[in-house]
Amino acid sequence: MLKLNYKGFIIIICAGNNETFDFATPMGVGLIESAMNITRLCLFDKPEFLLFVGTAGSYGNHNILDIVESKTAANIELSFLDSCAYTPLDNVVSTNTTNIKDVIVNSSNYISTCEEKTKKFLKLGLEIENMEFYSVLKIAEEFNIPAGGVFCITNYTNKDAHKDFIKNHNEAKKLLEIHVKNRIKELTSV
């Protein structure tokens, strides 16, 4: 469970396009758009806490319409799993300051559709994927801002990923809205 012990200035952000919420500011889809816009946001209106809200695909440990909270993200591409690529960069970032094991959210500009390959992500400790979350946490780290994410699972990472995403997207957005608004009520009543 994501622990938000802030009564201060929290900015809630989301991806955008068809994934918007009345309580969140759209930042763009994918790693690049979101990184540019979150940087701009933090330069001009630095929050005390940055909360990302969005949907995600499951590598298998989480079910459709599960709500998952996290403060840890990775940027590991499928080619890494086949030893076809490497990176000199630190590709895991976390704002988790507790000893509680966190769900690691993998981010890429691509949606995974090969169930056989994505099972390998589970062996690396990654459980879900969302296109923007790595850039959210990387920018938060740069600006020294505590941050986290709340996700609703819309699909498994298999050949039906897009079809299932479309089928479950509206319900996932409704569940996210209810969950986040309840969590904000908890925060403001403390």
Give the pLDDT score at 8: 60
Residue 90's pLDDT band (cuts 50, 70, 90) = confident
The conformation of residue 22, written as its DSSP 8-state character, comes to T
Is 74's pLDDT higher than 50? yes
Is 186's pLDDT higher than 80? no
Can you give the residue ranges of every domain in the chain?
10-189
- Determine the Cα–Cα distance for residues 70 and 101; give it in Å rounded to an integer: 10
Neighbouring C-beta atoms of residue 90, cutoff 10 Å: 9
In whole angstroms, how large is the CA radius of gyration of the chain?
Answer: 16
Neighbouring C-beta atoms of residue 33, cutoff 10 Å: 19
Give the CATH number of domain 10-189: 3.40.50.1580
Q: What is the pLDDT of residues 47-66, one digit of tens each?
A: 999 999 999 999 999 999 99
Tokens 């169930």 label which residue? Answer: 115
- Determine the Cα–Cα distance for residues 117 and 130; give it in Å rounded to an integer: 17
Residue 3's pLDDT band (cuts 50, 70, 90) = very low
pTM for the model stands at 0.91
Copy the structure tokens of residue 15: 């991806």
Is 152's pLDDT higher than 60? yes
Is 170's pLDDT higher than 50? yes
- Helices within 45-160 (DSSP H only): 78-81, 115-123, 133-142
Give the pLDDT score at 112: 93
Copy the structure tokens of residue 188: 């403001």
77 CB burial (10 A radius; 0-12, 13-18, 19+): middle
Residue 89's pLDDT band (cuts 50, 70, 90) = confident
Taking each helix axis as running N to C, give the angle between helix 133-142 and helix 30-44, from 0 to 180 degrees, rounded to the nearest 10: 30
Mean pLDDT of 17-45: 95
- Determine the Cα–Cα distance for residues 172 and 135; give it in Å rounded to an integer: 22
